[in-house]
Amino acid sequence: MDHRYRQLCMRLGAAMLCHHVLINTVMSGVIVALEFATLGLDDRTYNLVYQLTYAALYLASFMLPVAFFRILDRGEPQAPMGMAPALTWRAVPLIFAVLGVNIPCAYLNSRFMELLEAMGIGNLLNYVETPLVYPEDYVLLHLTLALVPAFCEEFLFRGLICGRLLPYGKTVAIVGSAVLFGLMHGNLGQLFYTTMAGVLLGWCYAETRSIWPGVIAHMLNNLTGFVTESWYANLPEARAMLYDNILCAAVVLVGMVCLVWLLCTRRRDDAPLLGLGNTRPLPDAPTVPMPMAACVRGFFRPTMVVYFVLAVGGILLYLGLGVMMTWFESMGMELPLY
């Protein structure tokens, strides 16, 4: 069984390398080519083409690694991907619990980013704000910022990685998929927050054996960020801060109540509310979880080590650019990349 686990981690590492190449090389190259191909277009048409192309590329960069894994995994027992449209009674409080715990994690992450800036490390998390000028801009932003990322990220990290690791131990499945999820975002400023979010979403998947509660929680979290940013952009700062605090307090309060209820009722049967559920175990899965030490040793196969080196190297490069930006700004100059 240890040999089967090591081979599984080797294939998962290969899938992550495929994703790394797609999102950091292929996707970036296509976006650059798109800039030249759309030079003659007006702003409205350009924005439509760009947003739809970006959404399609982002989706493909997560779907293709899953297909690649399936090719490598040919001949092995196939586990369910958590795609059944099932919703249990515990799924709704799970969604609120994930959102409620995620907000304090986001707060701690913001304090961490302030610490980085105080240390002289420039913040490179400068998202390009798309102005909401045309009616379709609202739909496009919901598509690219909420719907597509929520589905495809949950499909890869929870449906594939967490789902395939789960028979070998809940801890290794949740933590392993969460660490990969954090590294995928590629910068130090998001590493803590996205890793903790990955733990919460992995727990949500482990409880329901379905990606859909996680997709809903993921989408609502992204939409909440979009809504609060729009408040700060369009309302007086004091009013926007008031609305933001009320929303966060309400979500945290409801989330904590749901979390306590979930912990107090965790041994009860999970009666299905909608659908038949998707709890079929992986064929030939171990009857008991593997020892944690064996799980950790087996997890770091050559492909997984290469992915970790590339991902951590990218984060360090990103950090180095932040230091350069801070140094150039202190000298009254601009970074040559801009």
In a domain, residue 280? The reply is yes
In a domain, residue 30? The reply is yes
In a domain, residue 11? The reply is yes
DSSP single-letter state for residue 77: P
pLDDT at 274 over 50: no
Pick the most confident of 50-64, 111-125, 137-151, 255-269.
50-64
- Beta bridge pairs of residue 274: 87
Residue showing tokens 């171990």: 286
Contact 328, 36 (CB under 8 A): no
The larger pLDDT score, comparing residue 67 to residue 293, is at: 67
- d(C-alpha 73, C-alpha 239), whole Å: 54
In a domain, residue 211? The reply is yes
Strands in the chain per DSSP E: 87-88, 272-274
pLDDT at 151: 95
Give the pLDDT band (50/70/90) at residue 286: low
Q: Let me know the angle formed at the C-alpha of 21 by 84 and 318, rounded to the nearest 5 degrees.
A: 110
pLDDT at 338 over 80: no
**Complete DSSP assignment for 182-251:** HHHT-SHHHHHHHHHHHHHHHHHHHHHS-SHHHHHHHHHHHHHHHHHHHHHHHS-HHHHHHHHHHHHHHH
Average pLDDT over residues 37-54: 88
Contact 45, 133 (CB under 8 A): no
In a domain, residue 53? The reply is yes
For the whole model, what pTM was predicted? 0.87
In a domain, residue 65? The reply is yes
pLDDT at 319: 79
pLDDT at 123: 52
Q: How many domains does the chain have?
A: 1
pLDDT at 9: 95
| Domain interval for residue 283 | 2-125+137-330
Residues 98-136 pLDDT 10s: 999 999 998 888 888 888 777 766 555 544 455 566 777
In a domain, residue 337? The reply is no
pLDDT at 57: 95
Residues 136-152 pLDDT 10s: 777 888 888 889 999 99
In a domain, residue 177? The reply is yes
